[in-house]
Amino acid sequence: MRLVIADLTKAHPGSESGLLRSLLSTGYSQGPVILVCHEGQASGLSTVSPQANVKVLPDSAHYTDVMLAVVDLIDEQVKSTSLADELTILSFHAAVLQLQPRYAKVADLRIRCGTWGNFFRNYGPPREPQGTAWPADFMPKEEAVQVLCTALARYAAPVQLCDLRTVLVSVDSKFAKESSSAAATPGLLKQLVTYGSYLGRVRVQYRGEDKANPLVSLVEKQGTESSAVEYKTTQSAEKLSKRMEAHLRPKKLGPFAQLREELFNNLESAAKAKLTLREVIAKAVTVTREDRGGGQYPWRDVQEFLITLMKRRPIALDDSDKVIIPDSTGRGTVVSSLRSNWRREWEGEILVGVIEEINDIDVAYAAPDFALLLYHTADTRRCTYVDELLSDLVKSGRLFEDSRTGYLSVSLQGAQRTSVDPAPMSPRSVVPPSA
């Protein structure tokens, strides 16, 4: 069960009731909201949510008093025998928001801290869409939303807006651009997801500064035990996987979840054509781009993704079965083949790239988060593969697992290893699952 501690002590005077009403309207908290407020705020809030648990502080309370009050409330939940397994703390106080690392590993209770603004950007009730009119000669907007929901229901994870047309066409071919001029209307899909969000059918989530390519997912139905469990799993994995992806982007490590398998297939085919390493990479990207009809992918970034992986984990072999180092000389060497386990090695390198930046990932709970990052879904098959992949990385010395905390880190041995001599990963019967 998901609970919320809502700190309103630093809210703009007069905005407290509106903030609480907006929070309640999202249905995010699955139990009574726990409020922290000043004496002068309490009376107005009690009329909005009489069932809320309220921690009232003096109007003169210092921000450290607020922080300590929130700490007490968190500790109560940690020690309680309630069914809560996820606790979200909303606040305007920096001191409160900085509490999350203190509770990074607390039994079975996942604790998150965030600002009110970020919360409403992700979960707040959307505004009715305005702007370009829906094309009159296309299907009715409500029918299009139903197609959208049917398409999203096939995926256990959010879909990027740039990939949405392919997903929609798999359900209704009318969404193919070549089917009609209406289907090719500029901004059609953005209108569709905005309207679906307004109706409460889909969720649109933006990642950092990327406002052009949000994640789109189906709003899960509540009310049954199974749907509640799936919702919890999807939400927790989704938030951490976005955090992981944000760290991978500047490192040029993708991961291009819905493109990577096709890209890797084309790399493997190009490696059989007796081309130089430089040509193999270029051809893999060119063929993938042509197969996708151009699309909205940042193709320069896709090529840099392959180059970065090749530098971090060389997998191309020359005609003497020696690893080709992708330096100025090696890039002109003809590729004879690729290492037998190269896909597994490269996907492991993507995970290493994440762990280089995030040091609070618990190996016991990491599989769904990493599976969602790599494949945009976290089914049992992919989670099993990720578990074995992490185990291989630890055994090969690339990663270190802290036996006390369970956290993963890049080992000194792995950090000092050069790309000239990549550590072998043990072959497994489990191969990378198809995306």
> Tokens 């903030």 correspond to what residue?
19
Q: Please say whether the beta carbons of 133 and 187 come within 8 A.
A: no
Whole-number pLDDT of residue 210: 54
Long-range contacts of 140-143 (CB under 8 A, 24+ apart): 141/192, 141/195
Residue 247 and residue 372 in one domain? yes
The CATH number given to whatever domain includes residue 67 is 3.40.50
Residue 117 and residue 135 in one domain? no
Whole-number pLDDT of residue 157: 64
Q: Say which amino acid occupies 67.
A: M
Q: Please say whether the beta carbons of 373 and 255 come within 8 A.
A: yes
pLDDT tens for the chain, 435 residues: list them.
778 899 999 888 888 888 888 787 777 777 788 999 999 888 878 778 777 788 999 988 888 889 899 988 888 887 775 656 778 899 888 778 877 777 765 556 778 888 887 777 666 554 545 556 788 889 988 899 889 988 888 765 678 888 888 889 888 889 998 899 999 888 889 888 888 876 667 877 765 555 667 778 876 543 333 332 232 333 444 566 778 888 898 899 989 988 898 999 999 999 999 999 999 999 999 999 988 877 678 899 999 999 999 999 999 999 999 999 888 888 889 999 999 889 999 999 999 999 988 877 777 667 878 888 888 877 778 888 888 898 888 888 888 887 777 778 887 554 444 444 444 554 443 455 654
- Domain-ending residue, one of 338, 373, 403: 338
Residue 93 and residue 161 in one domain? no
Q: Structural domain of residue 314, as residue ranges?
A: 261-338
Residue 86 and residue 135 in one domain? no
Torsion on CA atoms 116, 117, 118, 119, rounded to nearest 10: 50
Whole-number pLDDT of residue 106: 58
In a domain, 177, yes or no: yes
- What is the rounded CA–CA span in Å between residue 272 and residue 421? 23
In a domain, 256, yes or no: no
In a domain, 40, yes or no: yes
In a domain, 313, yes or no: yes
Residue 64 and residue 184 in one domain? no
- What is the rounded CA–CA span in Å between residue 70 and residue 66? 6
- What is the rounded CA–CA span in Å between residue 164 and residue 175? 10
Q: Which one, of 80, 56, 75, 76, lies nearest residue 66 by Cα?
A: 56
The CATH number given to whatever domain includes residue 165 is 1.10.10
In a domain, 289, yes or no: yes
Residue 65 and residue 154 in one domain? no
Whether this model's pTM surpasses 0.85? no
Residue 204 and residue 182 in one domain? yes
In a domain, 196, yes or no: yes
Q: Please say whether the beta carbons of 247 and 354 come within 8 A.
A: yes
The number of domains in the chain is: 4
Q: Which one, of 285, 270, 261, 282, lies nearest residue 336 by Cα?
A: 270
- Domain-ending residue, one of 316, 338, 360: 338
- What is the rounded CA–CA span in Å between residue 191 and residue 210? 17
Residue 115 and residue 23 in one domain? yes
Residue 237 and residue 354 in one domain? yes
Residue 348 and residue 333 in one domain? no
Residue 83 and residue 190 in one domain? no
In a domain, 29, yes or no: yes
- Domain-ending residue, one of 338, 357, 380: 338
Task: From residue 228, give the alpha-carbon distance in Å to each of 119, 352, 355.
Answer: 20, 32, 29
Crossing angle of helices 225-248 and 342-355, in 10° steps, is 90
Residue 282 and residue 316 in one domain? yes
How many helical (H) and strand (E) elements, i.e. helices and strands, does the chain have? 16, 12
